[in-house]
Amino acid sequence: MSGSNPRVAIVTGGSRGIGREVVTRLAADGLAVVVGYAGNKDKAEEAADAVRQAGGRAVAVRADVADENAVTALFDTAEEEFGGVDVVAHVAGKMVLQPLVDFDLAVLDDMHRTNIRGTLVVAQQAARRLRPGGALITFSSSIVVQATPAYGPYAASKGAVEALTLILARELRGRDVTVNAVAPGPTVTDLFLEGRDQATIDRLASLAPLERLGTPADLAGVVSFLAGAEGHWINGQIIRVNGGAI
C-alpha cells in the first residue's frame, strides 16, 4: 500500500518488553500502529512518540484485554484513526510462578482472566475485523512443552492460547486471514530479569544450543514475518522461538 494508506496493526502489551519491540518493528515495516496498554500510559505514549518521530503513524490506547468493551473500543480506534485493521499482535499477558500445590486460586483466576479470556476477547474482535490478507499473532510460551516445575498454572493458560489459536485458524476458512502463535523461550526483558540472580540467568541462557537468551528483536522479527506477505502461507501453527531450548 502507499504511505498515505498503510496497513494497520494493533499491538497489545505494546508499552514495554517484547510488545514494545514489536511496535517498533511493525512501524519500521510501514504499518500504522495502535499501541495497546493496560496501565503504563507513559511508556505506551513513549512508544507511540518514537514511531511518530521516526516518520510513522501511531497512537496509544488503554485497554484491559479481558474487557470486551475496552477491546471493542481499541479496535474502533484503529478503524477511526487509520481506516481498518490488518494485523493483531496479542502480546499482553501475565505470569505468576509457584508450585501448583500452593497456588492461590484468586491469583489463578486473575492470571487466567488476562491470558485466556483476554486472548479470546482480542481474537473475537480480530476475527470480526481483520481485512483480507490480515494476520492474528497470539503469544504462547515454550514452557508449554518444557514442563518446568512452578510454571503449571501459567503453562496451562498458554496451552489454552495454543488451542484457541489452532482452532480459530480453521474457523476463519475463506477469509484470507492467518492465525498463528509465537511461543518464546527465555527472553531478556526487564520483567524477565526482575528477581533473578545471575546464576539463574546463566542457567536459562545455557538451555539453548545457541547458548544465549532470546531478545525482544528475535521475537519481533518473527511477528514481522508472520504479519507480512512472505509469511502468509504459514497458518494455524505454533512457532517456538527459543533457540532450540526444548
Gap between the Cα atoms of 34 and 22, Å rounded:
11
pLDDT beyond 80 at 88: yes
Check pLDDT > 50 for residue 2: no
∠ CA 241-212-20 to the nearest 5 degrees?
55
**Mean pLDDT (whole number) for 118-137:** 98
pLDDT at residue 236 in the model:
98
pLDDT in tens, 210-228: 999 999 999 999 999 999 9
Question: Does residue 57 belong to any structural domain of this protein?
Answer: yes
Q: What own/partner pairs with CB < 8 Å and gap ≥ 24 does 148-152 have?
A: 149/99, 150/97, 150/98, 150/99, 151/97, 152/99, 152/100, 152/103
Cell numbers for 56, please give them: 510513522
Task: Give domain status of residue 180, yes or no.
Answer: yes
Q: Domain holding 181: CATH number?
A: 3.40.50.720
Identify whether 80 is part of a domain: yes
Is 55 within the bounds of a domain? yes
Is 203 inside any structural domain? Answer: no
Query: Is residue 135 assigned to a domain?
Result: yes
| Angle, CA of 190, 86 and 49, to the nearest 5° | 45
Domain that holds residue 156: 8-186+216-239
Residue 142 CB burial class (10 angstroms; 0-12, 13-18, ≥19): buried
Structure confidence by residue, pLDDT tens digits, 140-181: 999 999 889 999 999 999 999 999 999 999 999 999 999 999
Is the pLDDT at 195 greater than 90? The verdict is no
Cα gap 92→30, rounded to integer Å = 22
The answer to whether residue 1 scores a pLDDT higher than 50 is no
How many beta carbons lie within 10 A of that of residue 9, not counting itself? 30
Which tens digits make up the pLDDT trace of 3-18? 458 899 999 999 999 9
In a domain, 191, yes or no: no
Q: For 186-221, b where at least 16 C-beta lie within 10 A, e where not — what string?
A: bbbbeebeeeeeeeeeeebbebbeeeebbebebbbe
The three grid cell numbers given for residue 39, joined into one nine-digit string: 496501565
The answer to whether residue 59 scores a pLDDT higher than 70 is: yes
pTM: 0.95
Q: What would the grid cell of residue 200 be? A: 539463574
What pLDDT, on the 0 to 100 scale, is given for residue 191?
80
What is d(CA 57, CA 194) in angstroms, rounded to the nearest whole number? 32
For 223-234, what is the mean pLDDT?
98
- Is the CB of residue 22 less than 8 Å from the CB of residue 182? no
The tens digit of pLDDT for each residue in 8-57 reads 999 999 999 999 999 999 999 999 999 999 999 999 999 999 999 999 99
- pLDDT, tens only, 95-126: 999 999 999 999 999 999 999 999 999 999 99
Task: Give the rounded percent of residues in the chain with a pLDDT score beyond 70.
Answer: 98
Give the separation between CA 191 and CA 173, rounded to whole angstroms: 37
H or E element in which residue 159 lies: helix 152-171
Which one of 37, 154, 165, 238 is the catalytic residue?
A: 154
Number of domains in the chain: 1
Q: Which residues contact 67 (CB under 8 A, 6 or more apart)?
A: 121
The CA distance from 76 to 31, in Å, is 17
Please report the pLDDT score of residue 164 as a whole number. Answer: 98
In a domain, 148, yes or no: yes
Average pLDDT of every residue of the chain: 95
Q: Using CA atoms, how far apart are residues 227 and 37, in angstroms rounded to an integer? A: 20
Q: Is 154 a catalytic residue?
A: yes
Residue with cell 514442563: 147
